[in-house]
Amino acid sequence: MRLTRGLRYWLDATFKVLLVAALLYLLYREIGGQERLADLWEQLRYRLGERSKWWLLPAVLLMPVNWWLESWKWQRLLKPFWSIAPWQAFKAVASGITLSLFTPNRVGDYGGRVLAVPAQHNWHAVIATMAGNVAQTLALFTGGLIGALYYLEVQGGLPRLLLSSFWWVLFVGIGVAYLFYFNFHWLALILRTFPMPRKWLKPVLMLRRFNRAQLGEALLLAFSRYSVYCMQYYLMIRFFGIDAPLDGALSGIATIFLFQATVPLPPVAALLARGEAALLIWAPFSSNELSILGATFGLFILNLALPALLGVIFIVKINVLKSLGYDKNTPENQRAGATGTIPDNHTKPSTD
């Protein structure tokens, strides 16, 4: 599809204006529109004057570490298809955070990262993102299920016999998930049994480009990132005066993250649900609802709201239609990764 220069300009500008407006509106509605915002602000000011303020600084410093690990993971998974520079990978991840705020289960991650690569590598970006998200989900569910079972045993008082059966189900389920993760090509074999055009299988067949060493590296980075944001949450609850023992705190954090992963809502719209889950989990350790909600909202601002604002700056500087292949100079067979191959004249990362 050929678009005139003027139409491409207006479509690009309209998308960016709507994106910025939507992001600012959602952040205002979910953060600025909170009924207890004034109370939360007072709680923050109070905590900054207490000795617990020193817990906040390392939580803030871990924010770039968190997203650096995610950028590194995506960069390594994209390498079999296209070599991307570290800074470009970070911009792609930040752009994905921006779009993911509007979509359930972080689907917007795919769109943001597609915009950061040339059009012929769109499908490669999607496949690398999918593999990275599967690795992160495995890390989250592994830590979350173990943490939740430990939390229920200590705080919930469930019978040990019942918990023992849960442990066996956990190990079997996780084991099967890891087996499929390290054998992505099985997915292509399964889909081939269904009557569908072969061209629909091309994106899935790209999964065969990952060897087990690359998938193992991605999984290690996923667990490292999971450890970082668990530590961030722990630092935030200590900053807000929730004095929970380390084992109880980490198991509670793992339980909350597991709950969040099962809520099919965009991160912004799920803030209320996250707050309710946190109130339930931290009830045995603190009766101060403002502190509990403060830690939850503070973590959201650190790890999602601030990177999303940075991501929207990157998106504004991107030629969106060109990234998607709607450019008069982009050959039709190179749009959206249509060929599934890596052209020889596109081996270096874009600096757009």
Instruction: Let me know if residue 291 belongs to a domain.
Output: yes
Instruction: Let me know if residue 349 belongs to a domain.
Output: no
Is residue 61 pLDDT above 90, yes or no? Answer: yes
**Structural tokens at position 129:** 């993102």
Q: pLDDT class for 163, splitting at 50, 70, 90?
A: low
Question: How much is the pLDDT for 3?
Answer: 65
Question: How much is the pLDDT for 140?
Answer: 93
Considering only 70-74, 165-169, 337-341, which range has the smallest mean pLDDT?
337-341
Highest mean pLDDT among 5-14, 42-51, 294-303, 326-335: 294-303
**Calpha distance 315→174 (Å, rounded):** 37
Question: How much is the pLDDT for 337?
Answer: 45
Number of domains forming the structure of the chain: 1
Instruction: Let me know if residue 344 belongs to a domain.
Output: no
Instruction: Let me know if residue 348 belongs to a domain.
Output: no
**Calpha distance 129→105 (Å, rounded):** 13
CA separation, residue 152 to residues 54, 166, 241, 255, 339 (Å): 31, 11, 23, 9, 50
Instruction: Let me know if residue 343 belongs to a domain.
Output: no
CA separation, residue 153 to residues 57, 159, 160, 256, 281 (Å): 33, 8, 7, 16, 13
pLDDT tens, position by position, 208-252: 889 999 999 999 999 999 999 999 999 999 999 888 889 989 999
Q: pLDDT class for 327, splitting at 50, 70, 90?
A: low
pLDDT tens, position by position, 271-326: 666 778 888 889 888 888 888 888 988 898 899 889 989 999 998 888 777 777 76
Q: DSSP string spanning 314-332? A: HHHTS-HHHHTT--TTS-G
**Calpha distance 242→295 (Å, rounded):** 9
Considering only 18-32, 68-82, 243-257, which range has the smallest mean pLDDT?
18-32
The secondary structure of residue 53, as a DSSP letter, is G
Instruction: Let me know if residue 129 belongs to a domain.
Output: yes
Instruction: Let me know if residue 345 belongs to a domain.
Output: no
Q: pLDDT class for 173, splitting at 50, 70, 90?
A: confident
Using an 8 Å Cβ cutoff, are 222 and 132 in contact? yes
**Calpha distance 292→21 (Å, rounded):** 30
Instruction: Let me know if residue 99 belongs to a domain.
Output: yes
CA separation, residue 119 to residues 19, 82, 124, 241 (Å): 21, 12, 10, 49
Range of the domain at 147: 5-337
